[in-house]
Amino acid sequence: MNKQMYLDLNVSNKVYEMGETILNELKPRFEEIDKIAEYNQNKVLLAMQKNRVDVSCFQTTTGYGYDDIGRDKLEKVYSDVFHTESALVRPQITCGTHALTVALSANLLPGDELLSPVGAPYDTLEEVIGIRESTCSLKEYGVTYSQVDLLQDGTFDYDGIKKAINAKTKMVTIQRSKGYSTRPTFSVKQIGELIAFVKSIKPELIVMVDNCYGEFVETIEPSDVGADLTVGSLIKNPGGGLAPIGGYICGKDELVKRCAYRLSAPGLGQEVGATLGVMQKFYQGFFMAPTVTAGALKGAIFAANYYQKLGFKAIPNATESRHDIIQAVELNSEKAMCAFCKGIQSAAPVDSYVTPIPGYMPGYEHNVIMAAGAFVQGSSIELSADGPIRPPYAVYFQGGLTFYHAKLGILRSVQELLNEHLIDI
């Protein structure tokens, strides 16, 4: 019965059968993912019960948004789940890059230096920092930037980091996920070790972790291992596919307050910000996030195993431990990237008939191809794949509100490569 449905969705018998063989081998690993999801589900539920979430929390506010009970309680729920003093969770934060920009610009002043001890930041932060010249960058406001690249094996260059920390160094930024690179994603344990190291050199350093794509993949978060600020997007893991917009910043109270002042205005901070009817989706999305993330994680592991068997390099590989939901696959050509993304797009519930092609995207240096037939535009907790058109022509697959949808996306991507005679099964 199921097999016929896949045939109806234009997945050939040999692509389907190879997928089933791989899935049978993955059952023990998937059971471990379910255990993590169960733990995180209970963690979120406990925080909601502790803060006495009720129907009044779903009411909408307009204008200034004064006395928005649902907004204020949701921020307490986030701070309890992330074990932080405070949280800022707002629909006025438009995306992950915006959340990071707010955190950076609120806590860095002219003359300060920002250090990345994990190599180059995600592409869209290059203009925020001023690596690529841009109006209103941190560089324009007198904030300098320093970077220490990872060692050849993908580990931290502790000697280089120690030399880079100086009197001007105010903040350290750690990007958990790989972004558009093929380096490893860092575990929370690794992040904790790096935080301990930099603070042993300069205890007053502010450490910010870009947590995008990593929430609920493990049972602990960067804020549990010393991060002063943990930042992410609600149209990724913590929104559970229901949040239509938004971002979060969790951390020390004094730092989060500065973020609130930067987001709204000095003197206003967290007191203003209407929620415009999104609160129920924010709460319900956060409640669903652990299980949605688990499904996306299973999809990423399925992709790694399938594509590695086809002879492609997968990052992480088929057996490595996982610390985010992104699966990179080096496809070695633009044509293969386009075929992969065509397959993902054809598996979407929205815009399935569209063929993605590479093009310019704001904030990116190279043309980018993006496949995403999502209910929320740009939501990468939903089934999606993208990548810059540059060697090694790696595509980055993520999401799937259910594992079954992620599975179909991978099968369709393989089918398109087969149709284009780029692989043989």
Q: What is the CATH number of the domain that holds 90?
A: 3.40.640.10
- 159-173 pLDDT, tens digit per residue, is 999 999 999 999 999
Q: Are residues 246 and 391 in the same domain?
A: no
Q: Is residue 15 part of a domain?
A: yes
CB 379 within 8 A of CB 241: yes
Which tokens hold the place of 199? 């603070």
Q: Are residues 312 and 198 in the same domain?
A: no
Q: Are residues 409 and 273 in the same domain?
A: no
Q: Are residues 36 and 64 in the same domain?
A: no
* pLDDT more than 70, % of the chain: 100
Q: Is residue 176 part of a domain?
A: yes
Q: Are residues 261 and 140 in the same domain?
A: yes
Q: What is the CATH number of the domain that holds 364?
A: 3.90.1150.60
* Domain termination site, one of 244, 277, 310: 277
Q: Are residues 228 and 141 in the same domain?
A: yes
Mean pLDDT of the chain: 96
Q: Are residues 309 and 412 in the same domain?
A: yes
β-pair partners for 396? 328, 386
* Distance from C-alpha of 380 to C-alpha of 308, rounded to nearest angstrom: 23
Q: Is residue 115 part of a domain?
A: yes
Q: Are residues 86 and 230 in the same domain?
A: yes
Q: Is residue 24 part of a domain?
A: yes
Domain of 246 in residue numbering reads as: 59-277
Residue 362 — very low, low, confident or very high, per pLDDT cuts 50/70/90?
confident
In the predicted model, what is the mean pLDDT of residues 226-250?
98
* Domain termination site, one of 243, 277, 311: 277
Q: Are residues 82 and 190 in the same domain?
A: yes
* Domain termination site, one of 212, 242, 277: 277
| Three-state secondary structure call for residue 103 | helix
Residue 237 — very low, low, confident or very high, per pLDDT cuts 50/70/90?
very high
Query: Helices (DSSP H) in 238-360: which residue ranges?
Result: 253-263, 279-309, 334-346
Q: Is residue 285 part of a domain?
A: no
Q: Are residues 257 and 337 in the same domain?
A: no
Q: Is residue 283 part of a domain?
A: no
β-pair partners for 329? 314, 395
Q: Are residues 138 and 33 in the same domain?
A: no
What lies within 8 Å, CB to CB, of 413 at 6+ separation is: 339, 340, 341, 343, 344, 347, 385, 397
pLDDT of residue 123: 87
- 267-314 pLDDT, tens digit per residue, is 999 999 999 999 999 999 999 999 999 999 999 999 999 999 999 999
CB 301 within 8 A of CB 323: no
Q: Is residue 51 part of a domain?
A: no
Q: Are residues 120 and 242 in the same domain?
A: yes
Extract long-range pairs of 100-104: CB within 8 Å, 24+ residues apart. Answer: 100/125, 100/128, 100/173, 100/208, 100/210, 100/231, 101/125, 101/128, 102/249, 102/259, 102/262, 102/263, 103/208, 103/229, 103/231, 103/249, 103/255, 103/259, 104/128, 104/129, 104/138, 104/171, 104/173, 104/208
Q: Is residue 320 part of a domain?
A: yes
Q: In what order do the strands lie in the sheet with 394-398?
A: 313-315, 327-330, 394-398, 384-388, 368-372
The domain tally of the chain equals 2
